[in-house]
Structure 1
Amino acid sequence: MTKKAWFLPLVCVLLISGWLAPAASASAQTALSLNDRLASSPSGTGSLLSLAAPAAPYADTDTYYEGAEGKTGDSLKSTLHRIISGHTMLSYSEVWNALKETDEDPRNPNNVILLYTKESRSKNLNGGNVGDWNREHVWAKSHGDFGTSKGPGTDIHHLRPADVQVNSARGNMDFDNGGTEYAKAPGNYYDGDSWEPRDDVKGDVARMLFYMAVRYEGDDGYPDLELNDKTGNGSAPYHGKQSVLLEWNKQDPVDDRERKRNEIIYEKYQHNRNPFIDHPEWADEIWP
């Protein structure tokens, strides 16, 4: 009898008797363990299959941005302004529930992630007291004095959950590098007229300000918001520092959480997109 002839019947007997079951069970446990690790990974990958299968595509952005491709400078800026204007506007009170979805902690659906501290905090702790989170206007609302009425003051493309005390410390400062580290938000720095956010959200901050400078051009009853290369802009409708924001856009590329947030805003709330999340390279085309 050949080796193959006697080996196959033996395997069958062992399978029937259950001798090989522990090995099969161990393999299944290994796969399950890996899936568990993937599900809890920062990338949010949910299964072994996800390693090979690409994520489902978001909206057809080629169609959405039709007419913008190939343009540069003011021509690109005006085309994008036309595309992203005319969106649904929320009331300031409606912003609370929107942020509870757009900034939900993927590891804990009862919490939101705070912009400057990366802390996961209960959705129910929204308010104005110490220990609460509130609605941070990344484009400081005093820069153009647009307040919290419908429009730029309630545009959730630049509104993010932030710790009450950290939000107050940032105030209406422009963005720039350097300063003293803020004790309640390690990784964030400040001086007399500027705020430097933690590295993980520098690109996010830049792309939110790019959006605001394109969306609000002064042609629909709202201030004409523009970037400049200064700090200490006060109540003028300007925000800086443009050269630093362009650097941050490259240093901190768009991530999946930012893309998902953009998609939620587009699909469920405002029905417009932040072009600089879909096409971060357009910032350099508009502000060379």
Structure 2
Amino acid sequence: MLATRTRRWKSVAWATAAVLVGLTAPALTATPAGATTTDYDSTYYKNAIGKTGASLKSSLHTIISSQTKISYSAVWDALKVTDQDPNNSNDVILLYSGVSRAKSLNGGDTGDWNREHVWAKSHGDFGTATGPGTDLHHLRPADVTVNSIRGNLDFDNGGSTVTGGGGSKVDSDSFEPRDADKGDVARMILYMAVRYDGGDGFPDLEPDEKVDNGTNPYIGKLSVLKQWNDEDPPSAFEEKRNQVIYDTYQHNRNPFIDHPEWVDAIW
């Protein structure tokens, strides 16, 4: 069952509608503007609630580091479930382009889809190692050609339109996803920054305010990622994906899908 996400403005809207039709509205919850509450706050996130800054980041790292890891080969079948087209069970929805493509067309040829590492694996040189290289919270199906164009570029605004990219743009040192995927990308990148902090033999991944980071364990631009998180809130597709990964595969969650306001609380 999907976690119940409650926004204060929704409660206010319900209350207003209730008055108009003569119903009794539920009591409003006094929460900060833009804050969310979920069914997991009293269980999974209980040690993070009420914290900010480095303390919140540290608590979330401890929480989400408890996970079941899968192999890189197992990612193929997992993505066919996590990214299934809600309107066609034979297809997956591709990141960046938004195209619905047959699950059977996974591979490396033109017209296929492959496994995109949103946190480019060369940024920290973790490759396809079990852990950051196989973490479903940042692995998504993507068109082979569009994925190749993105390569290991950092994320920023601007550039020329990517052919077949659904409105995505690219320039010499950065990639801009289509609008519908911008928040997804931001929350995946920031999940990785919290999950992988230099332990487990892997590099300390961090967002920064640069592009063209090369093989350093950084991805930018943080200010742009924060903007994308604000402008493109979690969709039903993204929330369901988070739930499937939690229930079926890794048994950990992306906290920024459940609580997008935690991005600003940390960074």
User: C-alpha separation between the residues in 1 aligned to 2:241 and 2:165?
Assistant: 23
**2:133 paired with 1:124:** no
Deviations 1:90-149 (A, max 9, x none): 100000010000000011100000011111100000000111000000000000000002
1:61 and 1:278 in contact (8 A); partners too = no
1:58, distance to aligned residue in structure 2 (A): 7.7
Cα distance change, pair 97–61 in 1 and its aligned pair in 2 (3 A): farther
Gaps of 5+ in 2: 1-36
After superposition, residues 103-118 of structure 1 pair within 5 angstroms as 103-118=83-98
Aligned partner of 1:277: which letter? I
The amino acid of 1:153's aligned partner reads G
Q: Distance in 2 between matches of 1:276 and 1:189?
A: 25
Counterpart residue number, 1:62: 42
In the alignment, what sits opposite 1:72? Answer: 52
**How far has the Cα of 1:172 moved from its partner?**
0.2
TM-score, normalised with respect to structure 2: 0.85
Select the structure with the greater relative contact order (CA < 8 A; seq sep ≥ 6).
Answer: 2
2:213 maps to 233
Q: C-alpha distance in 2, partners of 1:157/1:82?
A: 16
Q: Per the alignment, in what secondary structure is the counterpart of residue 141 of structure 2?
A: strand
Is the aligned partner of 1:191 residue 2:135? no
Q: Which amino acid is 1:89 matched to?
A: K
1:202-228 deviations in Å (ceiling 9; x for gaps): 000000001000000012211110010
Higher helix share: 1
- State which of 185, 189, 210 in structure 2 corresponds to 1:205: 185
Task: Identify which of 113, 122, 143 aligns with 2:123.
Answer: 143
Normalised by the size of structure 1, how large is the TM-score?
A: 0.79
- Residue in 2 that maps onto 1:102: 82
In the alignment, the residues of structure 2 paired with residue 113 and residue 189 of structure 1 have an alpha-carbon distance, to the nearest angstrom, of 19
Distance across 2 between alignment mates of 1:77 and 1:105:
33
Asked if 1:278 corresponds to 2:258, the answer is yes
Aligned to 2:14: none
Give, in whole Å, the separation in 2 of the partners of 1:117 and 1:204.
13
Point out the structure with max Rg over C-alpha. 1
**1:275 partner letter:** P
Cα distance in 2, alignment partners of residues 67 and 183 from structure 1: 45
What is the Cα deviation at residue 184 of structure 1? 2.3
Higher mean C-alpha deviation, range 153-162 or range 179-188: 179-188
Q: How does 1:143-222 map to 2 (within 5 A)?
A: 143-222=123-202
Q: What fraction of aligned residue pairs are identical, expressed as a percent? A: 66
Match of 2:7? none
Aligned-pair RMSD on alpha carbons? 1.2
Distance 1:278 1:58 in 2: 7
1:65 positional shift: 0.4
CA contact (8 A) 2:82 2:244 kept: yes
